[in-house]
Each structure stands twice: as structure tokens, then as C-alpha cells.
Amino acid sequence: MKYKHLSYSDRQEMEKLYLQGWHMNDIAAKLGVSLATVYHERARGDTGQMDANGRGGYSAELAQSKIYARRQELQERH
């Protein structure tokens, strides 16, 4: 499966499914992305807190803000 960038709405969907306790491979299938994409995204949006399912927390908003900050940083270099 090809890697692809997630949109903010994809991230919100991932957050919803993750909070519902979905497994990472099921989330990847639902979003039509590779399992690696989901794991990378989970790490990007890690809140440092545990969620209700006892897993590391994920925030779509946090992940999106990190993406935005990185893009701004790259634009400032050029």
C-alpha cells in the first residue's frame, strides 16, 4: 500500500476510532493507508497521557499543529 499524507479530517477520524478502541490495523484499513502511516501519525499526535483504553493518548489537533509548525519552519528556510 502506498504512503499518503493524512488530512485534518483523516486525523479527526483516526482520533475518533482510536478512542473507540479500534486496533491500528483496522484504522489503517478504514482510512485506506498503510499501517506504518497510522503508527507514525499516532506518534506525532501523542499527548503524553493515557486514554480511557489504557493506551497512549492521541490528539488530531496536536498532530495537525505539529504538521503546520514543521511546514512553517521549512518555508522560512527558503
- The tens digit of pLDDT for each residue in 5-57 reads 899 999 999 999 999 999 999 999 999 999 999 999 999 999 999 988 899 99
Q: What is the pLDDT of residue 2?
A: 61
Q: What is the pLDDT of residue 73?
A: 86
For the whole model, what pTM was predicted? 0.86
Q: What is the pLDDT of residue 1?
A: 61
Confidence class for position 59, pLDDT limits 50, 70, 90: very high
Q: Around Cβ 53, how many Cβ atoms within 10 Å?
A: 12
DSSP letter (8 states) at residue 54: S
Segment 54-75 mean pLDDT: 93
Give CA angle at 30 (18, 64), nearest 5°: 55
